Amino acid sequence: MLIKAQKSKLIKEPSSHKANIFKLRAELNKVSAEKEALFSKKEDVDKKISALINKITSLKKERDTPIKEIKEEKKKRDDYNRETKTKIAAVKKAREEKEQIIKKHKIQGDPAAIKILIESLEKKMETEVMSFGKERQMMKTLKDLKKKEKEFKKISSVLDKISELSKDINEIKNKAESMHQSIQDKAKISQEKHMQMISLSAEVKELKKEKDSINKKIVETKEQLSKVDEQLKENLLKISQLKGKLEKEKGESRKKNQTAETTELRKREEAVKEKIKKKGKLTTEDILVLQESEEGPIC
């Protein structure tokens, strides 16, 4: 059996552990709440990352579509440029042909100006009254001009060819310019989408850093929970052990008291029996001793 000081300590010790248990449970609830808040925060970050990734995927499609169109339009623009070069070469060749004809037939003047002048003189002769000498002079001039016009007809097909080629060149150049402008516009749109993707990717990168930080804190809170839970179990085990010791001490104390009471009862019973043998007068207490001896087993 324990001495009085040890017994007193044994009775007081559970109170200390109960205080620790109360404190540890409060800490356990606090850390658990922190862990749940971290999981909730992590879930919010995951949702943001997912939304941004979806937006980036959508922007990638919006960026790649004009890129594909630009590739096709560049091909068309290059085709237009090649066609322009071919026609420019044809114009150069036609002009050389024209110069050869002019040189061969000694053609001078501007055919368009000569045609206008012929029309002007013919109209003047039809509408104006003039002297015979002036009319003859005008007739001679008109004849000379018509001769030149006839000479120009030798190169008219070449001139028409040059004119047609020049017209085609202008049209092709306009198409190429229009295509080039379309390429520039689409390139600008594609670049804008790409820059948005870069910006959103940077946001995703920062959110992932935040998520890593949250995951680290979650691991720390789990470790803290495990540590507090272990301490709580240790304190509960100690209380259980102390209760076992107290129960054992109480049992031993009860057994000791019962033994002492039994010994005392036996002594008193023997004294009463001796009194009966000697035919002594029994007191009320003696009768009670006999009754108690009969009612309960004497150990």
CA 31, 36, 40, 46 torsion: positive or negative? positive
SS3 per residue for 216-258: HHHHHHHHHHHHHHHHHHHHHHHHHHHHHHHHHHHHHHHHHHH
**CA distance linking residue 168 with residue 90, whole number of Å:** 11
Stated pTM of the model: 0.54
**CA distance linking residue 99 with residue 93, whole number of Å:** 10
- Token readout for 256 is 């000791």
- Token readout for 281 is 């007068």
Q: What is the pLDDT of residues 173-200, one digit of tens each?
A: 999 999 999 999 999 999 999 999 999 9
Work out the mean pLDDT of the chain and round it to a whole number. Answer: 82
Domain segments of the chain as ranges: 1-106+180-262
Please tell me the class of the 1-106+180-262 domain: mainly alpha
Residue 119 pLDDT class (50, 70, 90 cuts): confident
Residue 206 pLDDT class (50, 70, 90 cuts): very high
Residue 130's SS3 state is coil
Q: What is the pLDDT of residues 214-258, one digit of tens each?
A: 999 999 999 988 888 888 888 778 777 766 666 666 666 667 666
- Token readout for 98 is 């024209």
Please give the residue that has the higher pLDDT: either 115 or 184: 184
Q: Give me the pLDDT at residue 297, please.
A: 40
**CA distance linking residue 58 with residue 62, whole number of Å:** 6
Residue 129's SS3 state is coil
Angle at 82 between CA 79 and CA 86, to 5 degrees: 135
